Structure 1
Amino acid sequence: MSAPTGFEDQVRNFALDVSTRVLMCLEGEPTAEQLVVEVSPRGGRFAFSYEQTLHAQAGDPAIGRVRLNFEITLDREKRYLAVHKSSFQLLDVRGKKPITRLEYVRDAPTVPCSHTHVHAESGLFTHFLARTGHPTPAEIQSIHIPTGGDRFRPCVEDFIEFLIRDCRVASREGWESKVAHGREEWRRRRTAAAVRDRPEVAVAELRRLGLTVLGRAAPGRPSARARY
C-alpha cells in the first residue's frame, strides 16, 4: 500500500499534537530527540516516539520517564489515520526498565489487542500461575491484562491522568483542561469508528431515540474484524 498525498503531514501533525499535550501536562524535560518520525520500510506506515523525564515536584531531580511509541497506518477504508501499534510506558529514571506498559497491537493474533503489563512481584499471583501451569509464573509482566479492546481502549490522556492522579508525578497548571479536551476528541473519533464498524447498531439506537435515518450502508463496506 502506498501512502496517499498528505499522509505523512497528517502523521507529523498528530505526533506534534500528542507530544505537545504531554509536555503541557507533565513537568519534565524531553529527550534530546524528543520527537522522531520514521517511515516504515513496509511503506504506507509511519512510526514516531516521544520521551521525557518525570518529577515528584517541579525542580526536583527526575524520578522516572514516560515514553510513547506509535506506528500509524490507514484504516480499512484507506481514508483515516489508524494506530497499528502503540505503547505508553512508565520507565525508571534511566529509561531502561519499564514499570508499567499500556500497549495496543491492531492485529494481535492470540493476546488482547489492547492490554497492559505490570512489572512487579506478587507471591500470590506467582503461586496462582504456577498452579495453572503457566510457563513463566514469576514474570508477572508477561500477563496481558485486557483494557477495552480495539475501539474502547485507553488514550494518551488516560495515561497522563494516571501518572498525575495515581502516581502523583508533578503536573503543570491547567493540565485538567488539556486532558479533558484531548479525551473528548479521542472518544468522538472512537465513537465514529465504532459506528463505521456497526452502522446497523447505530441506526437502531438513533431510531430508538426518535430520529429518522434514511438510506443504507454502501455495499462492499469492509467488515469489522473481531479482536480479542
Structure 2
Amino acid sequence: MNGQDTSSLASQTENFYSEICATVYLSVDCDIEDSVFDLLPKVGLSSITVVARVKVDGSPTIRLEASYVLNQGSERLLRVVDSEFHVKLLNESAPLFHYDFVGEARSELPAAHLNIHVSDEPLRALMATAGNRNRAKRRRKREVRGHNSQPAELHFPIGGRRFRPCLEDVVQFLIFELGVDRQLGWWDRVREGRATWKASQTAAAVKDDPKSALLELLRIGVLDEEDYEKAVQRAPEKRADSIEAY
C-alpha cells in the first residue's frame, strides 16, 4: 500500500474504533478493560479489540470482547474482514457463546455463525446421531480416536456476509436477556448504531444484486418502466459468489 492508502486506512479505522468504544460504554455500565487498534500497513489490514467488564447491579459480572480485522474495499471504503463478539463470565477463560464472522470462510463453514459453549445434553444427543458426511464425518473420526464432541463445535449460521448480527444486537441481548446495567440513553445509541450498520449492509447487498434492487424500486414506484429498462441494461450482473455463500 502507498502512504496515502495507509493514512486513509488509519483514519477510517480510528473513526470506527471510536464508534465501537462509544457503542459499548454509552450503552452498558462497564469498565473498559482493554482497547487497542493496530495498523498493519504491509498487509493492508487494521485491527480493533475492545474488552469491557459489564456490570450487573453495580458489580462487574460479564466480560464482553469485541474484535475486528479491517481493510479497504475496492472503493477505499472500510470493510470488515473478520469479527468476533465473545460473552464470558468475568472469571472464566472460555466464552459462554460467541458470534463470529469469517470473511474468507471455508466452504463448509458459514461465514457468519454462532458457537455455544455451555453443556447441553439434547445437543450432544443430536450430534451423536449426525450423518457420516462433511463436518459430521470428521467429528466421527475424532470420536473414534477418543475425542468427546462438544456443542461448541457446532457453527450455527446467522445471516451470512450481509445480514449477520452487529455489536448493537449483542449489547441489547446483554441488557434485555441478562439484565446488565445500562446507561442513560442506551436505547437511542443502540438504535442509531444498528440503523447505520443496516444501511451500510443494504448498500452492499444492492451491489451484490443490482438488478433485483432495480426491480424492487420499480415495484414500489420509485422507477417507471422506461427508467427501469434503461437502468437494468447498465446494471452489472449479480455477485453469485457473495449471494450464494454459506
| TM-score normalized with structure 1 length | 0.89
> How many Å separate the matches in 2 of 1:114 and 1:158?
14
> How many Å separate the matches in 2 of 1:203 and 1:25?
37
> How many Å separate the matches in 1 of 2:15 and 2:81?
17
Partner in structure 2 of residue 6 of structure 1: 8
Select between 46-55 and 127-136 the one with higher mean Cα deviation. Answer: 127-136
* CA 1:224–1:211: 2 relative to 1, 3 Å: farther
Q: 1:70 aligns with which of 64, 68, 71?
A: 68
Deviation of the 1:219 alpha carbon: 6.0
> How many Å separate the matches in 1 of 2:167 and 2:20?
8
> How many Å separate the matches in 1 of 2:62 and 2:126?
31
* CA 1:204–1:218: 2 relative to 1, 3 Å: closer
Select between 90-99 and 182-191 the one with higher mean Cα deviation. Answer: 90-99
Aligned residues: 223
Deviation of the 1:217 alpha carbon: 4.0
The answer to whether the Cα contact below 8 Å between 2:211 and 2:235 also exists between their aligned partners in 1 is no
The answer to whether the Cα contact below 8 Å between 2:209 and 2:238 also exists between their aligned partners in 1 is no
* CA 1:137–1:148: 2 relative to 1, 3 Å: farther
Deviation of the 1:42 alpha carbon: 5.2
Is the aligned partner of 1:99 residue 2:96?
yes
Partner in structure 1 of residue 217 of structure 2: 206
- Unpaired segments ≥5 residues, structure 2: 140-146
Partner in structure 2 of residue 139 of structure 1: 150
The aligned amino acid for 1:30 is I
> How many Å separate the matches in 1 of 2:236 and 2:200?
23
Partner in structure 2 of residue 185 of structure 1: 196
* CA 1:129–1:222: 2 relative to 1, 3 Å: closer
> How many Å separate the matches in 2 of 1:42 and 1:227?
29
The answer to whether the Cα contact below 8 Å between 1:126 and 1:137 also exists between their aligned partners in 2 is no
- Unpaired segments ≥5 residues, structure 1: none
> How many Å separate the matches in 1 of 2:184 and 2:20?
18
Q: 1:173 aligns with which of 181, 184, 196?
A: 184
Partner in structure 1 of residue 54 of structure 2: 54
Partner in structure 1 of residue 109 of structure 2: 111
The answer to whether the Cα contact below 8 Å between 1:151 and 1:194 also exists between their aligned partners in 2 is yes
> How many Å separate the matches in 1 of 2:205 and 2:55?
37
> How many Å separate the matches in 2 of 1:123 and 1:26?
33
Listed as ranges, the matches of 1:9-20 within 5 Å are: 9-20=11-22
> How many Å separate the matches in 2 of 1:123 and 1:223?
39
Q: RMSD of aligned C-alpha atoms? A: 2.2
The answer to whether the Cα contact below 8 Å between 2:62 and 2:87 also exists between their aligned partners in 1 is yes
Select between 92-101 and 2-11 the one with higher mean Cα deviation. Answer: 2-11
Deviation of the 1:40 alpha carbon: 3.3
The answer to whether the Cα contact below 8 Å between 1:130 and 1:137 also exists between their aligned partners in 2 is no
> How many Å separate the matches in 2 of 1:167 and 1:93?
14
Is the aligned partner of 1:79 residue 2:70?
no
Deviation of the 1:79 alpha carbon: 2.6
What are the superposed Cα offsets for residues 86-112 of structure 1, whole Å, 9 maximum, x if unpaired? 001101213622111011001101211
| TM-score normalized with structure 2 length | 0.83
Partner in structure 1 of residue 142 of structure 2: none
The answer to whether the Cα contact below 8 Å between 2:209 and 2:237 also exists between their aligned partners in 1 is no
Is the aligned partner of 1:39 residue 2:39?
yes
Deviation of the 1:13 alpha carbon: 0.6
Deviation of the 1:209 alpha carbon: 1.5
The aligned amino acid for 2:119 is E
The aligned amino acid for 1:40 is L
